[in-house]
């Protein structure tokens, strides 16, 4: 029986390398569809939790995970030798940036190295990690072919970018169309068959490079537009115009406009990082992506601008940042999640500390964290407000926060998310 027939009959073994926000939801969806799935991760704690049927990802209910573990359709392991038993292997590992803003490919290299050691004829290998155009053809393929096996002849190879939006109940893994590009027609067909078993739609494209570039376009589009509206926020502040009202008014146009909103900076694993992957690759080709890099500079400057606005607020009551007690509402990168990857709140806190402020925070999703050599533990908003901080900053607008209480009890508020849009008061300052 061919691999395609086995995928169609769900009579094949699927391995997922990387069990985070991308890999785990995909693994559970495949297991729920009837595939026998093995999740691979180097984190012993994650493997232990999953083996016990406990989910640490909000988008994966523990009940769903427990069912596929109990049925035998999903298992987690740190033993990479089990990759030899897999018919299809999906790589979903992080792709961070180095401090120099160059791509850090170490996680992909580590995962591909593990696959290479156990690669056999007839396997399908698919990369999901967001990366620069050319990664699959220029890095993954040559590494795997060091085994003597040839891609497209002895094994199949594809790229299909993840499109996960954590904590978005409207678009879960199964609801998001899957772009798929293989190194050849057979690889594309096999990857589409595998993903098509669990997602509503697959979108085959002509090559891995097109699929890689499509993902970078999606996130660069957001980065550039957020950068534009962040710059507009700075402009409107200088001109005495309410940027939030401007965006709401422009948003009433039923065509030709898509609203984006300013904030304290970009967070998450994709939008703050992916544009730099693209601009880095462009430089390798002798092209300077000035527009993209300018947006990155604007977005990267927003945390410091927030601290400047906090300083403005404190000046109205004849106080300085130095020596002030400042409480931060929310340190996750977006509302209603505990994900702190690239969170702008961390940069805001670091700027405040360097200016001499004493900082505390509340976040129902993040009990503690470390940054810049400091360890923080969350306190409740009630406890924080009872201590009468000099200023409160809303950096993440979680639904769990009681904004009525905040407006009533806080002396000064810096609202970076327009969470207090329905409130007025001289003690409320906006971005």
- What secondary structure does DSSP assign to 330-383, as a single string? --SSSTT----TT-HHHHHHHHHHHTT-EEEEE-TT-SEEEETTEEEE---HHH
Would you write out the chain's pLDDT as a tens digit for each of its 431 residues? 899 999 999 999 999 999 998 999 999 999 999 999 999 999 999 999 999 999 998 889 999 999 999 999 999 999 999 999 999 999 999 988 877 777 889 999 999 999 999 999 999 999 999 999 999 999 999 999 999 999 999 999 999 999 988 777 888 888 999 999 999 999 999 999 999 999 999 999 999 999 999 999 999 999 999 999 999 999 999 999 999 999 999 999 999 999 999 999 988 777 778 888 888 888 888 998 898 999 999 999 999 999 999 999 999 999 999 999 999 999 999 999 888 988 999 999 999 999 999 999 999 999 999 887 889 999 999 999 999 999 999 999 999 999 999 999 999 999 999 999 999 999 999 98
Residue 122: its H or E element: none
| 1 vs 430: CA distance, rounded Å | 63
Q: What is the DSSP letter of 136?
A: I
Active-site annotation, residues: 270
Angle at which helix 44-51 crosses helix 62-70, to 10 degrees, equals 80
| 49 vs 171: CA distance, rounded Å | 25
Q: Look at residue 284 in the predicted model and tell me its pLDDT.
A: 87
In 3D, which of 94, 114, 74, 81 has the Cα closest to residue 18? Answer: 94
Q: What are phi and psi of 329, to 5 degrees?
A: -95, 105
| 186 vs 3: CA distance, rounded Å | 11
Q: Look at residue 422 in the predicted model and tell me its pLDDT.
A: 93
Q: What are phi and psi of 277, to 5 degrees?
A: -60, -40
Q: Look at residue 7 in the predicted model and tell me its pLDDT.
A: 96
User: Hey, what are 120's tokens?
Assistant: 């056999």
C-alpha angle 305/306/312, rounded to 5°? 90
Provide the pairing of β-strand 202-204 with 325-329. unpaired
| Domain annotation for the chain: domains and CATH numbers | 3-206 (3.40.50.720), 231-430 (3.40.50.720)
Question: How much is the CA Rg of the chain, to the nearest whole Å?
Answer: 24
| 216 vs 134: CA distance, rounded Å | 12
Whether the Cβ atoms of residue 65 and residue 50 lie closer than 8 Å to each other: yes
| SS3 call for 429 | strand
Whether the Cβ atoms of residue 212 and residue 131 lie closer than 8 Å to each other: yes
372, exposed or middle or buried, with CB in 10 Å at 0-12, 13-18, 19+?
exposed
| SS3 call for 82 | helix
Q: Where are the beta strands (DSSP E) in 23-131?
A: 36-40, 74-77, 88-91, 124-127
Q: Look at residue 98 in the predicted model and tell me its pLDDT.
A: 79
Cβ partners under 8 Å of residue 249, min gap 6: none
| 281 vs 231: CA distance, rounded Å | 26
User: Hey, what are 161's tokens?
Assistant: 């970018």
Q: 103 pairs with which residues across the strands?
A: 97
> What spatial distance separates the first Cα and last Cα of the chain, rounded to whole Å?
61
Question: Whole-model pTM?
Answer: 0.89
> How many CB atoms neighbour CB 396 within 10 A?
31
User: Hey, what are 426's tokens?
Assistant: 């001289």
| 173 vs 198: CA distance, rounded Å | 8
Whether the Cβ atoms of residue 340 and residue 346 lie closer than 8 Å to each other: yes
Whether the Cβ atoms of residue 328 and residue 360 lie closer than 8 Å to each other: yes
Q: C-alpha distances in angstroms, 160 versus 6, 37, 40, 84, 114?
A: 20, 18, 19, 22, 20
């Amino acid at each position: 029986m061919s691999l395609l027939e086995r995928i169609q009959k769900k009579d094949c073994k699927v391995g997922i390398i990387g069990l985070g926000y991308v890999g785990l939801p995909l693994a559970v969806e495949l297991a729920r569809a009837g595939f026998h799935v093995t999740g691979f991760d180097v984190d012993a704690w994650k493997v232990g939790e999953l083996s016990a049927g406990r989910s640490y990802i909000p988008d994966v209910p523990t009940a769903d995970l427990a069912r596929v573990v109990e049925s035998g359709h999903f298992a987690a392991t740190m033993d990479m030798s089990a990759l030899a038993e897999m018919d299809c292997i999906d790589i979903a590992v992080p792709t961070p940036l180095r401090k120099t803003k160059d791509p850090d490919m170490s996680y992909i290299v580590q995962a591909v190295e593990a696959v290479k050691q156990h690669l056999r004829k007839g396997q399908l290998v698919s990369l999901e990690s967001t990366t620069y155009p050319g990664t699959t053809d220029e890095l993954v393929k040559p590494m795997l072919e060091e085994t003597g096996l040839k891609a497209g002849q002895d094994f199949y190879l594809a790229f299909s970018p993840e499109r996960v939006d954590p904590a978005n109940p409207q678009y879960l893994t199964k609801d998001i169309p899957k772009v798929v590009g293989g190194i050849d027609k057979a690889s594309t067909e096999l990857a589409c068959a595998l993903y098509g078993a669990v997602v509503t739609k697959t979108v085959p494209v002509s090559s891995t490079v097109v699929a890689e570039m499509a993902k970078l376009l999606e996130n660069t589009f957001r980065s550039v537009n957020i950068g534009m509206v962040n710059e507009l926020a700075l402009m409107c502040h200088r001109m005495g115009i309410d940027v939030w009202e401007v965006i709401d008014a422009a948003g009433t146009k039923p065509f030709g406009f898509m609203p984006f909103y300013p904030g304290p900076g970009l967070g998450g694993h994709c939008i703050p990082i992916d544009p730099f992957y693209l601009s880095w690759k462009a430089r390798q080709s002798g092209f300077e992506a000035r527009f993209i890099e300018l947006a990155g500079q604007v977005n990267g400057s927003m945390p410091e601008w927030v601290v400047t606005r906090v300083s403005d607020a404190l000046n109205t009551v004849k106080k300085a940042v130095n020596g002030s007690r400042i409480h931060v509402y929310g340190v996750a990168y977006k509302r209603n999640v505990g994900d702190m990857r690239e969170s702008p709140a961390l940069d805001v806190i670091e700027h405040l500390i360097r200016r001499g402020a004493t900082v505390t925070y509340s976040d129902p999703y993040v009990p503690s964290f470390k940054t810049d050599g400091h360890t923080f533990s969350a306190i409740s908003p009630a406890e924080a407000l009872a201590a009468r901080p000099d200023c409160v900053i809303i950096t993440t607008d979680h639904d769990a926060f009681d904004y009525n209480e905040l407006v009533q009890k806080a002396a000064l508020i810096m609202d970076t998310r327009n969470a207090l849009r329905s409130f007025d008061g001289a003690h409320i300052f906006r971005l």
